[in-house]
Amino acid sequence: MIKRTLFFSNKANLTTKLEQLVIKTENRLVTTPIEDLGFVVIEHPETYISVPTLAKLSEANVAVIFCDTKHMPCSMLLNLNNHHIQQELFSCQIKSSVPLKKQLWQQTVKAKIKNQAHLLKLQNKPYKVLDYYESKVLSGDTENMEGVAASFYWKNIFNFSFKRERYGCYPNQFLNYGYIILRAAVARALSGSGLLSTLGIHHHNKYNAFCLADDIMEPYRPLVDAKVIEIISTYNDEELTTNIKAELLKVLTETVYFKDCKSPLMVALSKTTSSLQQCFSGRAKKINYPRLWN
């Protein structure tokens, strides 16, 4: 089942009753089953949400995302006890060896470059050099093929001169918003698989509580890039409007492709994080990343 995403850009009152999220605005009162929800994005600063509602959403593994004064996602509520053998899984993750982490990062970088190449191919852009870079990714990506591939990718992905920067000019703000939403989705899936988002396999930063989410989201990033390309071709607007945010949230319902099946993104992320959990516990050797396009 595809979980729903609720986006509150206007003032609202959120409470709970009989396992339903009760949404009250100036014009209407509606309810929706909490079990159907995956994400709740709260943008309006005057939105009220009760503590029991937050608890209910957390119990159902609904990621509640709060936005700052610039309307950008800035924090997230996740369940801290979402798996029946959580302590055992944490222990396996903490004790995982450096060689294992390097192998997992190699797999992650190769999957990312493969998906970047596929998107360039779909855009009728040069892409074959990325196939070469992918073949040269070593354990731990010691030669930084990820960075080399990224340099080529960003020079070719758009039909105009572009420099990828966190606080750069258009359409960096579209990419940033999409990546934040994707990061939240990955963090939710990691929590559901009983893993600590803080402990990464490659990313390490004492100020970053989502290092592992930042690792695992890498092969999925081109989905956001593709959505931004679509937005650029559809909207004549360089501002991050409510409509564009709503379009970027649709990334969460995209379909991706595994070897034996296709899957909605939110389900696919759970498959990926579950396979990572098995790698940490010694029951598997590969992370199950999908192809983003068939």
Conformation bin of residue 224: beta by default, left when phi > 0, alpha when psi is -120 to 50: alpha
Please tell me the predicted confidence (pLDDT) of residue 208. 78
Tell me which CATH code domain 86-280 carries.
1.20.120.920
pLDDT the model gives residue 81: 67
Q: For residues 282 and 287, give the distance between their C-alpha atoms in angstroms, rounded to a whole number.
A: 12
**Contact, 196 vs 93, CB < 8 A?**
yes
Return the CATH superfamily for domain 4-77. Answer: CRISPR-associated endonuclease Cas1, N-terminal domain (3.100.10.20)
pLDDT mean by block of 10 residues, the chain; 294 residues: 88 96 95 94 95 94 90 84 71 94 98 98 97 98 97 96 91 96 93 89 82 96 98 93 95 94 94 96 96 95
What does the pLDDT read at residue 204? 85
- DSSP states of 99-155: HHHHHHHHHHHHHHHHHHHHHHHHTT---HHHHHHHHTPPGGGTT-HHHHHHHHHHH
Ordered by start, the domain boundaries in the chain are 4-77, 86-280
Q: What's the confidence (pLDDT) of residue 70?
A: 84
Bridge pairing between strands 63-67 and 37-42: parallel
DSSP bridge partners of 22: 15, 31
CA distance linking residue 274 with residue 138, whole number of Å? 24
In contact, 58 and 47? CB cutoff 8 Å: no
- 86-280 has the same fold as 4-77: no
State residue 82's pLDDT score.
Answer: 60
